[in-house]
Structure 1
Amino acid sequence: MDKETKFMITCLLFAAIFSSVSSAEWKATVVKSIDALVTSCVVVPCSFSHTGGNLPTSRLRAMWHDKGKTPDTKGNNIFHSDATLIKDNFKGRTQMLGELGQNNCTLEITEIRNHDNGPFCFRVELVKSEGNEPTKDMFSFVEDCVELNMITEPAEPTLIQPMAATQGEPYTVICSVMHTCPTHVPTLTWNWKTEGIIVYHRLIHSGNWETQSILTFIPEETDDNRELTCTAAFNEKKTSSSKLTLSVKHIENYNHIIIPAVVGIGTALLFGIPCIFMAKKYKNRIAELQNQEGF
């Protein structure tokens, strides 16, 4: 291998090493704003990267603090790995849902109060394995903070239905509601039978989720103009509902005409056919007698 080739390989190795080091940076992806229903809960999606390489959760210390306030101080943290440094009015109401070792900084806040609006910023510190002492590697993502939009009353569920129901045929109605707390999803209930109900949960975008309840039933004639109600309960504290009035298309019943007609036809056949045979028999007999007299 000549010197030029060795030099090129060495340069490529240095470039690869430099690229892998420089690609690691302090960066966070946090939703900028999210709705939060007072008395309910909210989950703030968050992910981050750091310059320390692949570290276990035990080597990372997390906190969420008020923007513009000094982190790592009791009066400024809504969450901290050290529970003694959490603000009193947030104690017991916040927790990290993801693993820091997997670069997940998702935050849950429960029992939302109307002053929990923020903005709040995430901070991570790399710590030594001995004694949980911080290193010089730490970062507050003050350019990527979240602000909570306080919602005092829950949104009403949305009802989706076909134009009209038909008596005796399967009919489906969908009730859906948006929310921002997948750890405590809203409960959807109907003023109807509990069987034939399917529930789905799905992520729409940026921390916004949808819960769907699909009701399938067979309407009867007595269900026409009946009121159907779907109620959403948020964290078992606040509720909202939507309703619709069923319009059931009747299927005409012609049995009162068909059955007597069938009975009449059956009776006519029952007595008519023997009569025909008997009349034919007597006609043939009379013809025979007439022939004998003429003979």
Structure 2
Amino acid sequence: IPSRNMDNETKFMITCMLFTVICSSVSSDEWKATVVKSIDALVTSCVVVPCSFFHTGGNLPSSRLRGIWHEKDGIKKTIYHEDPTLIKDSFKERTKMLGRLGQNNCTLEITGVKDYDYGPFCFRVELVRTENNDPTKDMFSFVEDCVELNMLTEPPKPAVIKLQTATKGEPYTVTCSVIHTCPTHVPKLTWNLDSTKVTVHHKDIKQGNWETQSILTFIPEEDDNREITCTAEFNGGLKSSFTFTLHVKRIENYNHIIIPAVVGIGTALLFGIPCILMANKYKNRIAELQNQEGTMWNRLSRLSILFKFTVWCIKSACILRVFCFVLFCFLFVYLFSF
């Protein structure tokens, strides 16, 4: 009989152990969390840690849930709790739950980041009684899904996208952007130019990283090697900047080539065409006289025509020289005025 009792006790103990293992695995399977493994945090600034969780029993109201953030090596080392008296002194008034637990959002904000806030930090969820807010036995710490903070003592520098050369009198656009991890207190981007055409965008680039963009548009003037600076001011007061030199080119103007060419062609046409017409006229007249009988009168007529043609050519040549001289003076003054 004693041996039979021992067998029963052994079976009972084995059954209890199996039941405990099964229950613990089921209990752990009831909760799932998604937390970034690591995220940059600028000292003196702030950081927002994206976090979400899932319960197989479906969504529960916020009134039945309590969210806690703690250090991985100790549940009692609380960095966030709805009861401020339970928070570590070094984190008091510096942490805030941004997400609504009823929407499975456990996102955490840490402000005034210290160089020792590196973590790792883990999220813990507890089910509480609605009537008195006391915790129940249903709770879970996501110690396998914790976040570590990469401490940055220097702020990241802005990145600038621009064209190498600007054109005088034409719109010029330059984009300045900076990456950060605190969407609740975004960096402020400013320019050293006075312009009303500045557009700012904020973009979620995932894994807790955000991008703030400032797009500046202005009309450049003469090339004076002006320096343009984009400055990023982060929450907490730290600043960084990027400076580049703007090179402005003039709009290409070919008037100094076109005008002389047009004047030259016009002059050639103005004097060339009449000369050709007059030469043809006298040539035809002389040919007519040569075809007639060679009387003294015809010979005198040919000589008269040749004389008139010669006089006309001499006058035209003089006028052309005077005109060319005036044209040369005009072109000289025009070309050397650029």
Query: What TM-score bracket applies, with the shorter chain setting the length?
Result: 0.7 to 0.9
Structure 2 residue 199 is the aligned partner of structure 1 residue 198:
yes
Match of residue 141 from structure 2: 140
Q: 1:219-238, aligned counterparts within 5 Å?
A: 219-221=220-222, 223-238=223-238
Structure 2 residue 45 is the aligned partner of structure 1 residue 44:
no
What's the offset of the Cα at 1:25? 2.1
Distance 2:36 2:165 in 1: 41
What's the offset of the Cα at 1:68? 1.8
Q: 1:161-240, aligned counterparts within 5 Å?
A: 161-221=162-222, 223-240=223-240
Higher strand share: 1
Q: Read off the aligned partner of 2:146 and give its amino acid letter.
A: C
What's the offset of the Cα at 1:193? 1.2
Structure 2 residue 35 is the aligned partner of structure 1 residue 34:
no
Percent identity, please. 72
What's the offset of the Cα at 1:251? 2.0
SS in 1 for 2:200: strand
Cα pair 2:59 2:104 within 8 Å, conserved: no
What's the offset of the Cα at 1:52? 4.7
Q: Read off the aligned partner of 1:36 and give its amino acid letter.
A: A
Cα pair 1:44 1:106 within 8 Å, conserved: yes
Distance 1:250 1:77 in 2: 64
Match of residue 268 from structure 1: none
What's the offset of the Cα at 1:84? 1.1
Q: Read off the aligned partner of 2:82 and give its amino acid letter.
A: S
SS in 2 for 1:247: strand
Cα pair 1:43 1:180 within 8 Å, conserved: yes
Distance 2:213 2:58 in 1: 41
Distance 1:54 1:66 in 2: 26
Distance 1:237 1:97 in 2: 23
What's the offset of the Cα at 1:53? 3.1
Distance 1:89 1:29 in 2: 26
Match of residue 281 from structure 2: none
What's the offset of the Cα at 1:85? 0.5
RMSD across aligned positions (CA): 2.5
Distance 2:260 2:221 in 1: 26
Cα pair 2:233 2:240 within 8 Å, conserved: yes
Cα pair 1:191 1:228 within 8 Å, conserved: yes
Q: Which ranges in structure 1 are unaligned for 5 or more consecutive residues? A: 1-20, 265-295
TM-score under structure 1 length normalisation: 0.76
What's the offset of the Cα at 1:253? 5.6
Match of residue 25 from structure 1: 30
SS in 2 for 1:48: strand
Give CA deviations for 1:33-67 in whole Å, capped at 9, x if unaligned. 00000000000000001255322111101110010
Structure 2 residue 64 is the aligned partner of structure 1 residue 59:
yes
Distance 1:251 1:164 in 2: 12
Distance 1:27 1:254 in 2: 71
Q: Which ranges in structure 2 are unaligned for 5 or more consecutive residues? A: 1-25, 264-338
Higher helix share: 2
Cα pair 2:195 2:218 within 8 Å, conserved: no
Give CA deviations for 1:6-47 in whole Å, capped at 9, x if unaligned. xxxxxxxxxxxxxxx99x721100000000000000000000
Distance 1:156 1:234 in 2: 11
Distance 1:194 1:172 in 2: 12
Q: Read off the aligned partner of 2:138 and give its amino acid letter.
A: D
Distance 1:153 1:172 in 2: 28
SS in 1 for 2:99: coil
Larger radius of gyration: 2
Match of residue 248 from structure 1: 248
Match of residue 280 from structure 1: none
Distance 1:213 1:103 in 2: 33
SS in 1 for 2:85: helix
